[in-house]
Amino acid sequence: MPLSSGTPGSFARSFEVGAPMSDSLKIKRIAIVGGGTAGWMAASLLARSLPGSGCAITVIESPDVGTIGVGEATIPPIIDLLRLLNINEADFVQHTGSTYKLGIKFTDWARLGHTYWHPFGSFGTMINLRPFFHAWHKARADGLSLCFDDYSLCASLGDQHKFRFPDVNAQGPEAGLRYALHFDAGLVAKYLRAYSERLGVCRLERHVLDATRRADGALDELIFSDGSRLASDLFVDCSGFRGVLIEQVLKTGYHDWSAVLPCDRAVAYPCELTTARPPYTQAYARPAGWRWRIPLQHRVGNGYVYSSAHLEDGAALDDLQAAVGKPLADPRLLRFVTGRRRLFWNRNCVALGLASGFIEPLESTSIHLVMSGVYKLLEHFPDLSFAQSNIDSYNAELINEMERIRDFIVMHYSLTERSDTPFWDYCRNMKLPDSLIERIELYRQTGRIRTKAGELFNDLSWFYIFEGMGVRPASYDPLMDVVPSAELREIFDKIAQLTRSAAKQSASHDSQFAARAAAMMAGRIASA
């Protein structure tokens, strides 16, 4: 962990005569406002990273405001988080209704009737020290017939509704397999709450009305609706879209990205599980946005993310119902403005989760950004002086990460060939950020993708979207010509054979949950 544990100290906030400077400057109290996924994830990571530091962590949950908690998909770093927290993965999967995820399958995005994959894990193998997608470009130029699934084990398993864990000792594609989880956000918050409380985190059920400020403008005390108060040194705002501290109190400001990401609403509801659970998220492009399908162990999460400028709420619900059928719970209508807070860390307040901004869930990045925000907070863990250079460094890193994710998501829309609705016309013609234009141009001309430090999505992820959306580079990496075409063909054949054989030996995704399914049939587990 980036942070070493400190020695327990007193709770004094002022400099005491004779007290060691390092101790008197220590953060002793952290107040986390919000008990959704962000609040409990932050509490878990902070509690795990500050054992014995004498730092008291309190999570405040409003009894009046619920969490977002629609069915959630994640990306592979969620597995690293479980390891970091020393959480048994099988136990977590069982208690959160999780299923495994090998990637996302996109339907109707490039054009109607077209499907493509953004799988996790490796794609082929390095050739001449170059990523495989360069060889892919050359193979296409050579006229080789290419089947995507033959080079991505995740895609191949996904299409067969199979799943297996990575085998790091294997020589074949099993070694490069990666996976994430689909989970029930409500159950995850509950799980992480129990974990945090075991590590000494306190929970208060109070509604925060306001906060007092110190002379320097920093936050001092939370004021609750029952008149009581709570003082703290560091405040973590996980209060959801409203941003109770970061916006309502500190007036930090917001950068609105809806010009390039026009979807601003979602209607969501779970439905019954009636078919095998695919080990991937499904993202179907719709006339004014897209629809997700996320299989859990006990139900399926569905939602239509859409642009209210192009579709009425009632029509969105009709569209969803026509596709997925009867709800298991009342449909939820969610409104959002895509963008980010001007600052994620303002004075002594750090915003995480929806309080820090929101990019629609097309690539399942929100929960990852919560984790990334906490990791970076640990790397920039402050003392009571709250050095501005430290705060600036934190903000710069997260802004860079979030803006590159924004570009990545925008690309899914802007590269479409669709012209069947005003929404898709808008997406095709919208003015793109310069950073994205540069990346698209480089790829179109050379097939190269140059990502920078701190970006979440690597060159392979960008390749999948370019390839899936039908962008074909004008040339390929000249270093690929070192490999003669006949040799390249042999390498491709060998990889395809290994991938097919690994997929053939794998079991169905559903078989992972057979025991739980049996218990459900016996009525021993109530479906949530």
Binding site for ligand FAD (CB under 6 A): 33-39, 60-62, 65, 67-70, 72-74, 185, 207-208, 238-240, 242, 244, 266, 268, 303, 334, 336, 353-355, 361, 364, 366-367
Cα–chain center distance at 33 = 21
Query: Nearest approach, Cβ of 15 to ligand FAD (angstroms)?
Result: 32
Query: Nearest approach, Cβ of 303 to ligand FAD (angstroms)?
Result: 5
Task: Considering the complex, state which of residue 74 and residue 416 has its C-beta at the smaller distance from ligand FAD.
Answer: 74
Backbone dihedral region for residue 134 (phi beyond 0: left; psi -120 to 50: alpha; all else: beta) = alpha
Query: Nearest approach, Cβ of 74 to ligand FAD (angstroms)?
Result: 6
Using alpha carbons, list the distances in angstroms from residue 81 to 118, 261, 305, 347, 377.
22, 29, 28, 28, 15
Task: Considering the complex, state which of residue 238 and residue 503 has its C-beta at the smaller distance from ligand FAD.
Answer: 238
Residue linked to tokens 């008197």? 24
Query: Nearest approach, Cβ of 446 to ligand FAD (angstroms)?
Result: 33
> Among candidates 238, 302, 300, 233, which has minimal Cα distance to 62?
238
Q: Note if 138 is an active site residue.
A: no
Task: Considering the complex, state which of residue 36 and residue 103 has its C-beta at the smaller distance from ligand FAD.
Answer: 36
Task: Considering the complex, state which of residue 26 and residue 368 has its C-beta at the smaller distance from ligand FAD.
Answer: 368
CA dihedral of residues 419, 420, 422, 425 (deg, nearest 10): -10
- Could you tell me if 462 and 443 are in contact, meaning their C-beta atoms sit under 8 angstroms apart? yes
362-396: buried (b, 16+ CB within 10 Å) or exposed (e) per residue?
A: bbbbbbbbbbbbbbbbbebbbbbebeeebbeebbe
For residues 266 and 305, give the distance between their C-alpha atoms in angstroms, rounded to a whole number. 4
Query: Nearest approach, Cβ of 79 to ligand FAD (angstroms)?
Result: 14
Query: Nearest approach, Cβ of 392 to ligand FAD (angstroms)?
Result: 24
Query: Nearest approach, Cβ of 365 to ligand FAD (angstroms)?
Result: 6
Alpha helices in 57-145 (DSSP H): 77-84, 89-95, 132-141
Task: Considering the complex, state which of residue 320 and residue 498 has its C-beta at the smaller distance from ligand FAD.
Answer: 320
For residues 135 and 32, give the distance between their C-alpha atoms in angstroms, rounded to a whole number. 49
Using alpha carbons, list the distances in angstroms from residue 466 to 118, 389, 413.
10, 38, 11
> Among candidates 456, 346, 342, 372, which has minimal Cα distance to 408?
456
Determine the angle formed by the axes of helices 366-379 and 388-414, rounding to 10 degrees: 160
Longest dimension (CA), the chain: 79
For residues 421 and 64, give the distance between their C-alpha atoms in angstroms, rounded to a whole number. 40
- Could you tell me if 197 and 93 are in contact, meaning their C-beta atoms sit under 8 angstroms apart? no
Task: Considering the complex, state which of residue 180 and residue 480 has its C-beta at the smaller distance from ligand FAD.
Answer: 180
Task: Considering the complex, state which of residue 70 and residue 449 has its C-beta at the smaller distance from ligand FAD.
Answer: 70
Catalytic residue among 101, 105, 138, 376: 101
For residues 55 and 29, give the distance between their C-alpha atoms in angstroms, rounded to a whole number. 5
Taking the CA atoms of the chain, what radius of gyration do you get in angstroms? 24
| Catalytic center residues | 101
